[in-house]
Chain A
Amino acid sequence: MIDTIYIEEAVSKHPRTQEILRRFSKAVRIPCKRYGEVFNRNAQNFRLQKKRPALILAQKFDHFVLETPPGYGIGSEHNYYFSHMLNCIYDCRYCFLQGMFRSAHWVCFVNYEDFEEAISETIKKHERAHFFSGYDCDSLALEPVTGFANRILDFFAARPNALIELRTKSIQVKSLLQRKPIKNCVVAFSLTPNEIAQKLEHGAPSLAQRLEAMQKLQEQGWKLGLRFDPVINTEDVESQYEQLFKHVFQKIKIKSIHSVNLGLFRLPKQIYEQMYRLYPDEKLFAGALVERNGMISYPEKFEDRFQNIIHKLLTFIPQEIFFPCSAV
C-alpha cells in the first residue's frame, strides 16, 4: 500500500515514525528537511500521484487549531478544525483537496501531543466548543497506521465541555468499537446516493458498507452524524436522494443521530479552476456551473430541486438536528 515514505529529519527518531517505518519495512525511505520540499513543489501532478501516493512523516509547528469558515457548525457558537493529516486515501472527484494541494501524497504530522496542547488551550477560552477532524483528510481511513483517533478520543474523554467530530467515509471503526463510546464525540459519515457514489467516490467504501459500520457504532452507543454533502446534481437527483434517505433511516435510528448536514456542491473558484485543469475530461466539472460570490456551484435554476431535497429530508428528521451548510 505504501511504497515510499519521506521522512523529515527532525522526526526520524520519533517513536511514532519508528512504529510506522516498522509497519512498512519494505518501503523506500527518503529523507527530507521539511515536508514542504516534497509536498509544496511546483511542477507536480495531483492526478498522476493519486495512482501511487507516498507517505510523508512530518512535524507540525503552528496553526494546529483553526477557526472554521463562517456558517460551519452543528450547534455551537465556537467552532474549530484541526488536521493531523493532509490528503485522503480516497479519490472522490468532487473533493476540494484536489484543487488545494499540489501533491496527492499523504502527510502525517506525528507530533500529536502538540495538537492536544493547542486544542487544550483553545478549550480553555470557551465554555463550550466544537472541534472538527477530517477537514484536510479522512479522520479514520488511515487509523490502523496513525492511531490518531484512538488517542484523541482519550483526550476528549477528559474534556466533556468540548465536542469532537470525526468526519469520515471509512469503515475503519475497529478502534472505536473496541472502546466505550464517549458522549462528546460524533462519528460523522459522508453519504451520497449509490449511483453518484459509484461514479465519483473512487476507492471509498460503498454506501452499504458505510451503513453497516454506522449500525455497529449505533449499537454500541456512539453518536452519529449524517453529512449529505456535497449534493451533486443529476437528472434524477430528487428521487436519488429520496431513496438514499429511505435507505439510511431504515437502518439508523433518529435517537443515535447527533446532527445532519446537507450542502450543495460548491467550490472556491481558484480551487475549481485547478480541479478542472487536472480533470478537463470530468463531466462533473464540464457541466452547467456558475460563479457566484467567488464560489462555483449550480445555477439558480437548481435551487428548487435542492429545496425539495431539504424538505424531503425534514420528513425523516426533526428540524432541531438539521444544520444546512452555508448557501453560496
Chain B
Amino acid sequence: MICFVTAFPAEAKPMIKRYGFKAFQSNPFPIYESDVGFLVISGMGKKSAAKAVSHLANLCPTNSIWVNVGIGGHKDSEIGNAFLAHKIVDLKTLKNWYPQILFSPSCKTTTVFTVDQCETQYAEDAIYDMEAAGFYEEAVHFSTAELIHSFKVISDNATLPAVKVSPKLAETLIEKNINTLNQIVNELSLIRKELPISEPGLLKWFLGRWHFTVTESHQLRRLLQRLHTLQPNKNWFDILITSLRATEGSEAISKLGIASSALRPPHNDTTRAKDIIRFLKDQIHALPVEL
C-alpha cells in the first residue's frame, strides 16, 4: 500500500496519470485511489499535511509506504532537479527527522527545511518547503522510518524565486521526474516485502468459534504464529478438531458447535479457550527442534 501526500492538485496530476488514480473521497481532503494505494491532496502548510496524513492513515494498514511529493526551493540547485530528503528540519520548532534510505535512489539526497512562509532567502544548502516536517512527524505514527520519504523537485531558486512558480510549472516539474519517483516507489515496495506478515491466517477461525478474552486472543495469535513458523503446511484448526474428536468424542465436538459451521458456541464458554491455548503450547513443545 503506497500513500502519496501532496500539497496541490497540480503536483498530484502527474501521479494521478501515472498510477491510474480515481476520485475516492473529497471531504475533508481530496483522496484518490488506485491499485497501488491512495493519494491525498493536503493543501499548503505543515499542519495541513499532518492532518491529511492522519486522515488517510484510517484507510491504510500499519507500515504502509508513505511518500510526500512536492516542489521546493534551493539557493542554487537547478530548476527541475529532484531530491530525496535524508534529513528534515522544522525551522520553527527545530525538530528534526531522518528518513532511512536503504536503497540507491536515482536522485541525490539532501536536507529539507520546512518553513511556515514561502522562502525567499535560501540561506542554507538545503531545500526549503512547507509540508515535509508536518508530513513526517505524523506519518511516523503509522509506519516505520525506512518506508516514509519526502521527494522534492526544485521549482525555485535565487534566480527564479518562488513567487514566479505557477501550477503549470509545478505539474511539469513533477511530470519530468515521475520516472525517478517511480524508481523510489519500486525500491520501497521491495523493502516493504521484507517485513514479515504478522497476522496468522487461522486466527479468525479460532476467534470465530470460541470466546477468547483480550489476553487470550494475544496468546492465541502468538501461538498460531509460532506454529505457522515451525510447520507452515499444517492446519492447526483441523489438528485441534481431530485431537478433540479422538479424546472427547463427537458429543464434545457438537457441544463446541464445530460439527455445524452455522452454530456458534455459547459465549460464556470461557474454559475452552484455556484448553485450546494449552493444547497449542503442548504442540510446540512436542515438535522436533529445527532451525
Contacts and interface: CB of A to CB of B under 8 A. Distances in A.
**Main secondary structure on chain B at its contact with chain A?**
loop
| Interface-centre pick from A232, A281, A287 (highest chain B CB count, 10 A) | A287
Contacts of A283: 229-230, 290-291
Contact of A4 (B86, B140, B191): B86
A32 B291 CA distance: 40
Interface stretch (B41-49, B176-184, B281-289): B281-289
Interface in A296-312: 299
A51 B109 CA distance: 19
B195 A45 contact: yes
A285 B144 CA distance: 23
A1 interface: no
Contacts of A19: none
B225 A43 contact: no
Contacts of A288: 284-285, 287, 289
A48 B109 CA distance: 19
A200 B291 contact: yes
B61 interface: no
A183 interface: no
Contacts of A28: 86, 109
Given A28-B109, A199-B291, A234-B289, A42 B100 contact: no
Interface of A: 3-4, 6, 28, 30-32, 37-38, 41-45, 47-49, 51-52, 196, 199-200, 232-235, 237, 279-288, 299
B144 A44 contact: yes
A287 B287 contact: yes
B87 A51 contact: no
A286 B229 contact: yes
Interface string B96-119: 111011111000010100000000
Given A49-B100, A288-B284, A281 B144 contact: no
A281 B102 contact: no
A45 B144 contact: yes
Given A38-B98, A43-B143, A45-B144, A284 B291 contact: yes
| Interface-centre pick from B100, B109, B111, B285 (highest chain A CB count, 10 A) | B100
